[in-house]
Structure 1
Amino acid sequence: MPDRHGTALAFDFGEARIGVAVGELELAIAHPLETIAAEANDARFARIGALIAEWRPAQLVVGLPTHTDGTEHELTRLAKKFAQRLKGRFNLPVWLVDERLTSLVAESLLAEAGVSGRRQKPALDQVAAQAILTTWFDTPGQAL
């Protein structure tokens, strides 16, 4: 069970973009933070390092994409590799959380907020990261 003090950062990993959300552990409330659109790993990890320096999280959470039946695919492997890199670079606890329905939740939340169609794309990844973090608050998932 994770320590429930401090802040957590959650990541919706993708090959083109990484959505980031932040949440307060004691309150279990998550907020979308930003979408990292850099393609080069060095640029991605530099931005993540800056976010970690700014927010000083106690926990990191990574969404684990799978097929709807729970079986793994190529993006599952890449997300696990990303999570291992986070753990190695930043020496923080990293948790993997099932993210199968988070994109649908994110689209629904944005639609409720009146954001639809092409206007959803810039916010979709960070709202998906928010859904990942909210899921983790309820069910911590697997620690690396």
Structure 2
Amino acid sequence: MRIMGLDFGSVTVGVAISDPLGWTAQGIETVRYVEHKKNMLFDRIGELIKEYEVEMIVVGLPKDLIGTETQRAAASRGFAKSVRRKFKIPVELWDERLTTMAAERILIAADLSRKKRKQVIDKEAAVLILQSYLDKKRLEQKNDE
């Protein structure tokens, strides 16, 4: 089962996809959109769902360091609800605490210029969101056995 991870931002959405076994997350792309033209964003997400045969989506939920939802969390919740309604597949919200900072560190370590980092940081954050979800689910499954 393939799972899609989304890092929802105010201008871009980072997209990651799991491998068919649900072990690893790979960054696919960063989708740019304009707030009043979200239909283009949903069209692209729909194309990716079909292309990769996605059966579930994980949307990052912004929280601060102590676990309280940030102001941006309401927008992420609304986005997740719209995705669930539009594509009729399960959507789960997942704590995305510190993923953007971790993505930034990874990209700096890879010696990417500031300009290139800006282009791919949301995609990398989506990878971290999805990978943490996959790791947690795999651990839960192992503990159930």
After TM superposition, the score normalised by the length of structure 1 is 0.88
- Per the TM alignment, residue 112 of structure 1 is displaced from its structure 2 partner at its CA by 2.4
Structure 2 unaligned spans of 5+: 138-145
Match of 1:117 in 2: 114
Counterpart selection for 1:98 from 95, 99, 105: 95
Q: Deviations over 1:12-35 (max 9, x none)?
A: 001111100111252511111101
What SS is found at the alignment partner of 1:73?
coil
Runs of 4+ in 1 over 2 A off after TM superposition: none
Matched, 1:14 2:9: yes
Q: Distance in 1 between matches of 2:124 and 2:39?
A: 24
Q: Which has the larger radius of gyration?
A: 2
The letter of the residue matching 1:59 is M
Q: Which has the higher helix share?
A: 2
C-alpha distance 27-56 of structure 1, shift in aligned 2 (>3 A): closer
Q: Distance in 2 between matches of 1:74 and 1:7?
A: 30
Q: Deviations over 1:15-59 (max 9, x none)?
A: 111100111252511111101101121111111111111111121
Counterpart selection for 1:30 from 25, 29, 47: 25
Structure 1 unaligned spans of 5+: 1-5
RMSD: 1.3
What SS is found at the alignment partner of 1:122?
helix
What SS is found at the alignment partner of 1:77?
helix
Aligned length: 135
- Per the TM alignment, residue 123 of structure 1 is displaced from its structure 2 partner at its CA by 0.4
What SS is found at the alignment partner of 1:84?
helix
Using the aligned pairs only, state the percent identity.
Answer: 35
What SS is found at the alignment partner of 1:28?
coil
Which runs of structure 2 are paired with 1:7-86 in the superposition (5 Å)? 7-24=2-19, 26-39=21-34, 40-86=37-83
Q: Deviations over 1:59-84 (max 9, x none)?
A: 10100002222112321000011111
The letter of the residue matching 1:45 is F
Instruction: Return 65-74 or 30-39, whichever deviates more.
Output: 65-74
Q: Distance in 2 between matches of 1:104 and 1:97?
A: 16
- Per the TM alignment, residue 115 of structure 1 is displaced from its structure 2 partner at its CA by 1.1
What SS is found at the alignment partner of 1:58?
strand
Match of 1:131 in 2: 128
